[in-house]
Amino acid sequence: MRSRKTRRGMAVAAALVSAGLVLAGCGGSDDGGSGEASGKSPGEGKAECEQLTQFGDLTGKDVTVYTSIVAPEDKPHIDSWKVFEDCTGADVKYEGSKEFETQLQVRVQSGNPPDIAYVPQPGLLQTLVGTGKVVEAPDTVSANVDKWFGEDWRSYGSVDGKLYAAPLGANVKSFVWYSPKMFSENGWEIPTTWDDMLALSDTIAATGIKPWCAGIESGEATGWPATDWLEDVLLRSVGPDVYDQWVAHEIPFNDPAVVESLDNVGAILKNDKYVNGGIGDVSSIATTAFQDGGLPILDGKCALHRQASFYAANWPEGTDVSENGDVFAFYLPAMGDEFGNPVLGGGEFVAAFSDAIEVQAFQTYLSSDQWANEKAKATPNGGWVSANKGLDIANLASPVDKLSGEILQDPDAVFRFDGSDMMPGEVGAGSFWKEMTNWITGESTQDALDKIESSWP
């Protein structure tokens, strides 16, 4: 009798504990909805806090940020929020992931979105807005975007005319990295036309080095650097208007002009004489991490590497990135005079999944000229620019960033946003990447483009 009682007691206790755990698991956190500013801002009276005092005291409030930016590039971001944290008392929690593009959708669909996400693709932003979970940008952010950004940048962050996400950083992709020292030792000149560039490649190839190096491996995003290649060449050969039509799918993805452009890319990237300097043959491009793609330049085993301005962060510490240093970048030449100097670029946008006051305050801060300058100062090694017109070019650290900043703020530059980032996620972050990878490892140009076309939703 006694033993039965004890056993029953044990069973009850076990049931209690396990059920308690289940219930505790169910009790999720819910953030307070939109709030009114209340309390006296900790930054009251300080000059640098002028734009932030309107949000009141946010002490003890958390803002979670989810991005695709991982170490070491995340530190400047975290540093640039110090003013915000000091002025409002709120705490910003950072999380970066290389699998951001898919993981963000997983989190949104499972009801666990971050407060803020840095979305690097307008196409992904559209998908996210389609889920109904993205909160429209508050008026303070909208006003900042009108004041500090051009009309085109506002449109990249808008869906159906409504602004959802303010632009954050930007980058210029039409760059070719090279070694100024290596060039001057060999008497090579920086090419100013596409044909000059091919002639230079032949000259370099004749010396026994493979002139170009590349890497497109990037986890689940493997293939994206090759999509930039195609976009850059397409923009140069058919001009910005046809490029826009292609991005919007008004002409088919496998249009003859696109086939020709990809063949032009192939003349470099799939040319065994040209690639893959310091690494291997053509197919080794597919398995080389994009971060490592340009590094053979430092060993003198490769001369040219087409990659965006942000590649500056991947050179090892101590590398002199300047006009006469170890490495620098030149503008990927145009293919003719017809379309001026087209520039391909990208950027991130700040999407919010919460309308809490601290989140709005943070969005406002990020869209301000103040943040842009803080970020520039917090990035002593360079590798970051913004299209924010309030950004003082003098605050940018590296010569490459200054060059990029000037291009971005130049009202006459023919700037176009990275096309794959504006296409629907199924293509821009799916089949386009995958088929470009297959194209590198042997698939024909026509087959690759046909497959992408057929995957367009």
Taking alpha carbons only, the member of 87, 60, 149, 17 closest to residue 356 is 60
By CB under 8 A, name the one of 10, 12, 70, 267 that touches other proteins.
Answer: 12
By CB under 8 A, name the one of 29, 132, 241, 337 that touches other proteins.
Answer: 29
Taking alpha carbons only, the member of 161, 201, 180 closest to residue 330 is 180
Taking alpha carbons only, the member of 84, 172, 152, 70 closest to residue 118 is 70
Question: 83, 370 in Cβ contact below 8 A?
Answer: yes
By CB under 8 A, name the one of 214, 286, 312, 378 that touches other proteins.
Answer: 286
Q: Find the shortest distance in angstroms from Cβ 433 to other proteins.
A: 9
Tokens 């962060």 belong to 313
Q: Is 341 in the site for other proteins (CB under 8 A)?
A: no
Tokens 């998908």 belong to 127
Q: Find the shortest distance in angstroms from Cβ 121 to other proteins.
A: 13
Q: Find the shortest distance in angstroms from Cβ 126 to other proteins.
A: 12
Number of residues that bind other proteins (CB under 8 A): 40
By CB under 8 A, name the one of 165, 170, 275, 429 that touches other proteins.
Answer: 429
What is the C-alpha end-to-end distance of the chain, expressed in Å?
Answer: 69
Copy the structure tokens of residue 395: 């605050």
Q: Is 444 in the site for other proteins (CB under 8 A)?
A: no
Q: Which is nearer to other proteins, 213 or 329 (CB)?
A: 213
By CB under 8 A, name the one of 240, 252, 280, 325 that touches other proteins.
Answer: 280
d(CA 221, CA 232): 19
Q: Is 354 in the site for other proteins (CB under 8 A)?
A: no
By CB under 8 A, name the one of 79, 96, 102, 133 that touches other proteins.
Answer: 102
**Host H or E run for residue 116:** strand 116-119
| Residue ranges in 81-166 assigned as alpha helix (H) | 82-88, 100-109, 122-130, 139-148, 151-156
Copy the structure tokens of residue 75: 């530190």
By CB under 8 A, name the one of 425, 439, 445, 449 that touches other proteins.
Answer: 425
Binding mask 195-234 for other proteins (x = CB under 8 A): ------------------------xxxxx-----------
Beta-carbon contacts of 268 under 8 Å, excluding residues fewer than 6 positions away, are 198, 201, 212, 274, 275
Tell me which stretch binds other proteins (CB under 8 A): 145-153, 170-178, 273-281, 394-402: 273-281
Size (the chain), residues: 457
> Which residues form the interface with other proteins (CB under 8 A)?
12, 15-16, 19-20, 22-24, 27, 29-30, 102, 105-106, 127, 219-223, 278-281, 283-284, 286-287, 301, 425-426, 429-431, 434, 437-438, 441, 455, 457
